[in-house]
C-alpha cells in the first residue's frame, strides 16, 4: 500500500522506483517506504542509512521540489516546528553556539579540501568565471565594489567564516577590517590567514560588537540570525554604521515567509538556521535602514554547490577513516539537496545594499 502511494507520487514527476535512468530512485531496503512517510526528514535519514540510492541525486530532488509534491503532505513534525518557531527564540546567544560545534568546527582541513583558496563557504559569482576559484574571487571583488571600499576605511564584517573576505579587502582594497565569529575553529584559522594584515578577528556574538564603522558587510551569516532577531540585527547594523554610508548583506533567502527550516537540514546540518523572506527582512529593517539595491544570484549557488560536491568527492579518500561512511552519505545528500533546491528556484540568494538614512545622490547598481 505505502509502496504504491509513493510509486504513484514519484511517477507524477517522472521519477521511477527501480527504474533505469540516472534520476530514478533505487530501493535497497523496503523499510525506506516507511521512512518516506516522515517527508524530507525521513527521505534524508533513509538515504544516510543506505536504504535507497540514486545515481543523479540532485536531478531526482530537483524534480520533486520543482513540482512541489514535497509540500502536499500533512506532517505533524512540520506543524510543531512552526509553532515552536513562533513561540521561542531559537537563535539566542547560547543556542547560536550549537551550529558552530555541529557544523563549522568539524575540521578546517576538511573544508579546505572542498573550498577555494579564500575558503569561501558561500555562493560564488559565475558571470565571467571558468571555475570555483575564479567565481569566489569574483564574488569577493563584487562585494568590495558594491561597498565602494576605499583605502583605510574601517569595515565591520559580521560573521567572517575562515577570514577570506577580510584578507581580500585588506590586501586588495587597503581596508582595516574587524571581523566577528562564534566558531573557535574558524577564528583560529582566520587569525592565521590574516596575520600581518590590518585585520582584527574577534571571537564573539555579533550582538556584542560596539563602535562605528565606515562600511558593514555580512556574507552568509544572516541565515543563522533567526526569525525573532531580524529587527535587532537591523538595529545593530544601524548602530554600527556611519551615517550616510552603506552595508551589504549577502544571504540565502526563502520565497515564503516561514519561521523554521527544512527538518533534515535543521537536525543534521545547520541547527537553528532560518533563511529570511524579503518580506521578513525588509519589514524588520524598515525603521532602521533604507534599501538601495537587491541582486539575486540564486542560479550561481547551484554551480557553486556542484563544484563543492566535485571537490568533496575527489578528496573523500583522505577523510573516509576519520568521518565514516554515514557522514559521506549525509554530506553528499546535503550538497546535492541544496543544489537541487536552488536549481528549482525554491530558494534564492540575495545581495542587498542598505544605507543609513539614504545614500546622498543615490546608489548605482553594480554587477
Cα dist from 272 to 31, 85, 178, 268, whole Å: 29, 10, 25, 11
3-state secondary structure of 271: coil
- How many Å apart are CA 312 and CA 307, to the nearest integer? 9
Radius of gyration of the chain (CA): 21
| DSSP code string of 100-143 | IIIIITS-HHHHHHHS-TT---S----TT-SSHHHHHHHHHHHH
338 carries an active-site annotation: yes
Q: Where are the alpha helices (DSSP H) in the chain?
A: 2-11, 32-36, 39-48, 57-67, 76-87, 97-99, 108-114, 132-146, 164-173, 184-193, 230-240, 263-268, 278-285, 298-323, 325-343
Q: From the CB of residue 145, how many other CB atoms can be counted at a distance below 10 Å?
A: 12
**Cβ atoms 163, 201 nearer than 8 A:** yes
In which element (H, E) is residue 154 found? strand 154-158
Q: What is the DSSP letter of 306?
A: H
Q: Which of 123, 160, 240, 338 is catalytic?
A: 338
Q: Cβ atoms within 10 A of the Cβ of 196, count?
A: 6
> DSSP per residue over 43-89, as a string?
HHHHHHTTSEE-TTHHHHHHHHHHHTGGGSS--HHHHHHHHHHHHS-
Pairing of strands 347-355, 290-296: antiparallel
Q: So which residues are the catalytic ones?
A: 338
Amino acid at each position: 500500500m505505502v509502496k504504491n502511494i509513493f510509486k504513484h507520487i514519484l511517477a507524477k514527476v517522472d521519477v521511477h522506483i527501480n527504474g533505469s535512468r540516472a534520476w530514478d530512485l533505487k530501493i535497497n531496503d523496503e523499510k525506506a517506504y516507511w521512512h518516506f512517510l516522515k517527508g524530507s526528514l525521513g527521505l534524508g535519514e533513509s538515504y544516510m542509512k543506505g536504504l535507497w540510492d540514486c545515481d543523479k541525486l540532485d536531478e531526482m530532488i530537483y524534480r520533486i521540489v520543482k513540482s512541489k509534491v514535497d509540500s502536499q503532505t500533512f506532517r505533524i513534525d512540520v506543524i510543531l516546528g512552526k509553532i515552536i518557531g513562533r513561540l521561542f527564540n531559537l537563535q539566542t546567544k547560547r543556542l547560536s553556539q550549537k551550529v558552530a560545534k555541529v557544523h563549522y568546527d568539524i575540521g578546517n582541513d576538511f573544508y579546505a579540501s572542498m573550498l577555494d583558496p579564500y575558503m569561501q563557504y558561500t555562493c560564488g559569482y559565475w558571470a565571467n568565471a571558468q571555475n570555483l576559484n575564479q567565481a569566489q574571487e569574483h564574488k569577493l571583488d563584487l562585494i568590495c565594489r558594491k561597498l565602494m571600499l576605499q583605502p583605510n576605511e574601517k569595515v565591520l564584517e559580521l560573521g567572517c567564516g575562515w577570514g577570506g573576505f577580510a584578507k581580500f579587502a585588506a590586501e586588495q582594497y587597503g581596508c582595516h577590517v574587524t571581523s566577528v565569529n562564534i566558531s573557535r575553529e574558524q577564528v583560529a584559522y582566520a587569525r592565521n590567514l590574516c596575520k600581518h594584515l590590518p585585520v582584527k578577528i574577534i571571537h564573539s556574538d555579533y550582538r556584542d560588537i560596539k563602535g562605528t564603522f565606515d562600511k558593514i558587510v555580512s556574507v552568509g551569516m544572516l541565515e543563522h540570525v533567526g526569525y525573532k532577531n531580524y529587527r535587532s540585527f537591523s538595529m545593530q547594523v544601524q548602530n554600527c554604521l556611519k551615517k550616510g554610508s552603506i552595508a551589504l548583506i549577502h544571504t540565502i533567502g526563502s520565497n515564503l515567509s516561514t519561521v523554521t527550516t527544512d527538518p533534515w537540514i535543521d537536525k543534521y546540518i545547520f541547527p537553528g538556521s532560518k533563511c529570511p523572506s524579503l518580506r521578513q527582512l525588509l519589514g524588520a529593517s524598515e525603521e532602521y535602514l533604507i534599501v538601495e539595491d537587491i541582486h539575486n544570484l540564486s542560479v550561481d549557488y547551484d554551480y557553486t554547490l556542484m563544484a563543492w560536491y566535485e571537490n568533496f568527492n575527489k578528496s573523500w579518500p583522505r577523510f573516509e577513516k576519520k568521518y565514516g561512511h554515514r557522514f559521506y552519505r549525509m554530506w553528499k545528500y546535503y550538497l546535492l539537496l541544496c543544489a537541487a533546491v536552488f536549481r528549482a528556484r525554491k530558494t534564492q540568494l540575495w545581495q542587498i545594499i542598505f544605507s543609513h538614512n539614504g545614500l546622498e545622490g543615490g546608489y548605482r547598481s553594480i554587477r
